[in-house]
Structure 1
Amino acid sequence: MISLISPQGALLMNRDQMDAHAVFRKDFTVITNAIAKASSTALEAIFMRQTGLIFHGLSRVGKTSCIKTINSKLRGFMPRAYVIQIEVVKKEGSFTNNILDQLATEEGVKFRSRETPVGKLDRISEHVINRCGEKFCNHWVLLLDEFQRLRSHDLHVLFDLFNRLDRKGITMTILSFAMPAVFKQREDLMYAGNSEQLIARFMSELIEFKGCTSAQDLAVILKTFDEKSEYPPKSGITYTNGFAPQAFATGFRLEPLHGSLWKALNSASAGGYKNNVPLEHLFLSIRYLLRYLSQNDSSRIVIPDKLLDEVVQKSNLPQFCMLNGGGQG
């Protein structure tokens, strides 16, 4: 039961209800222009059975959301393909990230206590072959987040795994997302020598992935909150409507704010994040705005530019950019 009443008489969400909302749980995905474009490119590459494709971008621009979207879309686009998604874990003080151990953990494959590296490779390849057989397919898609964390050893292990599966008639596609450090990773492999085939197979195509790059991009995001979202499920109530029902009923929408909000966001950005606003901070700014709307819902509500500047500042965007992207042009 909604428990708070505003001075204007509007019903308001209480703290628990707001915390349970999909927007505040961060349990939703907005298909931004960048995610839509990258997903289309990725699905085409997978369909054409390319061996490797890497999207690279700065921190918090939406790479993890994009890889989740691709995984979800693959279920309908290529339902018979065998797909695994993992985030590469970097183990400090180790010469290898043990990619085979990470694959085993994800898939529930149990290694013996003294399993040799070759034995682990055999077990994983057999597992993939069996799973492909169960799905009546010959295509394994490995989605890797944080590709730049892989060590040289594990890249060579993936190369060996590719060859083993290829001999069994199974195609392996590695589609990855990485930080810009992936360029140095590739350079180091080139200088080390004997890695030409590995680079050609997995790291020959690097595509930049950006966050929100324009007011038009932001308009798409805000329109999703206004028209193409729903909470609770099957309620027909969009996100904007849910937080500000009185304002929404009299025509208020977030989308017309895109110009002013973009100005506030991009003005607070610096370096590599200029015209490349990180989605993490963009959505945090929107959450602050929605909370304000909920607490001040009215048929006559007005959102001044000063308020938009304030929600952006609360998102900590300026400080984040200076620490993480301020030195990049």
Structure 2
Amino acid sequence: MSSAHVRPISVDQHPVTRHQYIVPTPSIDALMQKVKRLVRMHTPGAVIFAYPRFGKTYGIRYVKNALQGEYPGVVCLSCGTEAKKKPSEDGFFTTLLEATGHLGALTGSITRKRRRLIERISELVDASGYNWFVIFADEAQRLEVMEYEWLRDVHDCLERKGIRMITLLVGQPQLLNQKTAFRQSNHTQIILRFMIAEMRFDGLADPDSLATCLQGYDDAIHPPSTPWTYTRFFYPQAYDNGFRLVDEALALWDAFLRAHNSARINVQMEIPMQYFAHAVEIALETNMQLDRAGFKFTPEMWDEAVAESLFVEALRELHLGMPSN
């Protein structure tokens, strides 16, 4: 191997190997545009929903970074939502304070925590140069009515201070059922503040979608400010001979389609981002020792990567909740 093909870092330090990277997808791009529009319109809240492992959390990280790129200094908070036996006001405000980075999140009474939260958000927003901020609540289908009421109090208090709070509820399709239940029980104050818009986060539904994602591996660079794209890092000799992952889109789609058909489940194929990314990672790492000028992935290599991603097993678990043809 020539010196031009010697990797600048070890394989175990690469973001793909560490699973610490984001590549754009059509769904992420569409979500990003919708969220930006919500921000421009100052829409107070929206529901972002998808089936498990479709890449919601992954997509939100990308959107959050994009927002901070377009609005330098803007406040974007994110917090998880834990399963619990019953709502805890103390736990609720602790979680929100932790999301703001407040050092006193674990101490004090509920009243003090509530006051600290308002003060902390006000400080962050004032320093940002904007009069609004965004908060992402992950796994939001776990939130209960009382927690929405506490969140509404925060929303209203900040609004009186001239601060617009844009809440994006990220979760599974049960969120839509909750919205319907709130409508039927006359909790319109919750819907109007937090659920007025709806956005579905889709999986990858055609070869073009895969091509967009694979192009991300061809374009992304690590280490920064070097010529080492992700694809080149794993296959430097093939890359110098013109090999690009984007050209593998149809072959990878066909591998997922073969796996989908083998499962004998009557649902339209839609590949969750989790399993797409895992299949690509497996293919890159498993076959990298075969790198040479004329390297190409074979159908068998893609079949093995898709199988090891556990796509079929996940499909069988998910199909009851997915739309039929």
Q: Structures share a fold, TM > 0.5?
A: yes
Q: Say whether residues 1:52 and 2:45 are aligned partners.
A: yes
User: What is the match of residue 86 of structure 2?
Assistant: 94
Shift of 1:326: 4.7
8 Å Cα contact 1:240/1:253 also seen in 2:
yes
Q: Say whether residues 1:200 and 2:185 are aligned partners.
A: no
In the alignment, residue 30 of structure 2 is paired with which amino acid? K
Give SS of 1:85's match.
strand
Give 1:234's match in structure 2, choosing from 205, 225, 242.
225
Q: Say whether residues 1:39 and 2:39 are aligned partners.
A: no
8 Å Cα contact 2:94/2:106 also seen in 1:
no
C-alpha separation in 2, matches of 1:112 and 1:298:
55
Runs of 4+ in 1 over 3 A off after TM superposition: 10-13, 111-114, 269-275
Give the alignment of 1:140-155 within 5 angstroms.
140-155=133-148
Cα distance change, pair 132–231 in 1 and its aligned pair in 2 (3 A): closer
C-alpha separation in 1, matches of 2:149 and 2:215:
45
User: What is the match of residue 292 of structure 2?
Assistant: 298
8 Å Cα contact 1:54/1:207 also seen in 2:
yes
Give SS of 2:294's match.
coil
Shift of 1:114: 5.9
Give the alignment of 1:72-83 within 5 angstroms.
72-83=65-76
Give SS of 2:76's match.
strand
**1:1-45 deviations in Å (ceiling 9; x for gaps):** xxxx8xxxx9788xx932221111112110111101101110121
Shift of 1:111: 5.8
Give 1:316's match in structure 2, choosing from 306, 310, 313.
310
Give 2:257's match in structure 1, choosing from 241, 244, 266.
266
Q: Say whether residues 1:174 and 2:174 are aligned partners.
A: no
Cα distance change, pair 134–326 in 1 and its aligned pair in 2 (3 A): same
Shift of 1:104: 1.3
C-alpha separation in 2, matches of 1:147 and 1:266:
32
User: What is the match of residue 151 of structure 2?
Assistant: 158
Alignment length, in residue pairs?
Answer: 316
Shift of 1:74: 1.9
8 Å Cα contact 2:98/2:105 also seen in 1:
no
Give 1:71's match in structure 2, choosing from 54, 64, 68.
64
**1:152-197 deviations in Å (ceiling 9; x for gaps):** 1111111111111111211111123211110222233234x34112
Cα distance change, pair 238–100 in 1 and its aligned pair in 2 (3 A): same
C-alpha separation in 1, matches of 2:173 and 2:258:
23
User: What is the match of residue 23 of structure 1?
Assistant: 16
8 Å Cα contact 1:266/1:274 also seen in 2:
no
Give the alignment of 1:247-258 within 5 angstroms.
247-258=238-249
Deviates more, 1:264-273 or 1:252-261: 264-273
Cα distance change, pair 111–260 in 1 and its aligned pair in 2 (3 A): closer
**1:235-277 deviations in Å (ceiling 9; x for gaps):** 2011111111222222222222211211211343476974320
8 Å Cα contact 1:87/1:146 also seen in 2:
yes
User: What is the match of residue 210 of structure 2?
Assistant: 218
8 Å Cα contact 1:272/1:327 also seen in 2:
no
When normalised by structure 1's length, the TM-score is: 0.87
When normalised by structure 2's length, the TM-score is: 0.88
In the alignment, residue 50 of structure 1 is paired with which amino acid? T
In the alignment, residue 157 of structure 1 is paired with which amino acid? W
Cα distance change, pair 326–264 in 1 and its aligned pair in 2 (3 A): farther
In the alignment, residue 308 of structure 1 is paired with which amino acid? W
In the alignment, residue 129 of structure 1 is paired with which amino acid? S
Structure 2, unpaired ranges of 5+: none
Give SS of 1:212's match.
coil
Give 2:178's match in structure 1, choosing from 179, 182, 185.
185
Cα distance change, pair 41–273 in 1 and its aligned pair in 2 (3 A): farther
Cα distance change, pair 273–135 in 1 and its aligned pair in 2 (3 A): farther
Structure 1, unpaired ranges of 5+: none
Q: Percent identity?
A: 25
